[in-house]
Chain A
Amino acid sequence: RKEVEQDPGPFNVPEGATVAFNCTYSNSASQSFFWYRQDCRKEPKLLMSVYSSGNEDGRFTAQLNRASQYISLLIRDSKLSDSATYLCAVNSGAGNNRKLIWGLGTSLAVNP
């Protein structure tokens, strides 16, 4: 089993739809969780850190479920500009061995 797994998609949704992605992780000791957005041929950009209590930023909501070891990203009222690949990242290790482990990404296409 991979350390971090995501639905690859693609998710094709109409404008205005609500869409949710999940990301599962295997290391129960992980403490930091992130969602990044990556546009085609560009660098990943931080979308949200994921906190234990869940957090919301406009149309985007991130949740952490420690018991089932997954994080989720909910996008409400999808816009054409939300079309991108969404990467989740989870920390692993400690001290000089700490790093982020990345999922392969979930592709989202929002259609007019």
Chain B
Amino acid sequence: DAEITQSPRHKITETGRQVTLACHQTWNHNNMFWYRQDLGHGLRLIHYSYGVHDTNKGEVSDGYSVSRSNTEDLPLTLESAASSQTSVYFCASSEPSVRRTSTDTQYFGPGTRLTVL
């Protein structure tokens, strides 16, 4: 079955270290998204991509980067981890539907719980 996976599922790191979170989908979706979810803030968009070599900044992109070298993967890199980046990170993917009213339905990976000490 097609799916979307994230790794690692849990990560503890130290302030200042570079961390990369992996996201891999086998649906062949063009669109991929990274969110963080924190209590009181809900899902906040970090970066997103609408195809290979396309990347766009979301509302909380500072301190994060992504690259899209193929359809299946969108790794998220924290250049120099900070305690404020302790969060749960979700990757999602979507493919625009032919039905206008269900455009861009997003499907989520299981999440990565990141702790920065």
A residues at B contact (CB < 8 Å): 31-34, 41-46, 49-52, 87, 89, 91, 96-100, 102-105
Binds A, one of B40-48, B60-68, B76-84: B40-48
A102 touches B43 (CB 8 A): yes
A89: chain B residues within 8 A (beta carbon): 106
Name B105's contact: one of A34, A51, A96, A99 (CB within 8 Å): A34
Q: Indicate if the CB atoms of A99 and B33 lie closer than 8 Å.
A: yes
Residues of A within 8 A of B58 (CB): 99
Contact assessment for B101 and A43 in the assembled complex, using a CB-CB cutoff below 8 Å:
no
Secondary structure of the B contact surface, majority rule: mixed
* Whole-angstrom distance between the Cβ of A90 and the nearest chain B Cβ: 11
Q: Which of the residues A49, A96, A102 comes within 8 Å of B54, measured between beta carbons?
A: A96
Give me 9 other A-B pairs in contact (C-beta within 8 A), A32-B102, A103-B42 excluded: A32-B104, A33-B101, A43-B110, A44-B108, A45-B108, A46-B105, A46-B106, A87-B42, A99-B58
A32 to B97, CA, bound (A): 11
Nearest-Cβ distance from residue B65 to partner chain A, whole angstroms: 18
Question: For residue B102, which residues in chain A have a CB less than 8 angstroms away from its CB?
Answer: 32, 49, 51
Within 8 A of A (CB), among B101-117: 101-111
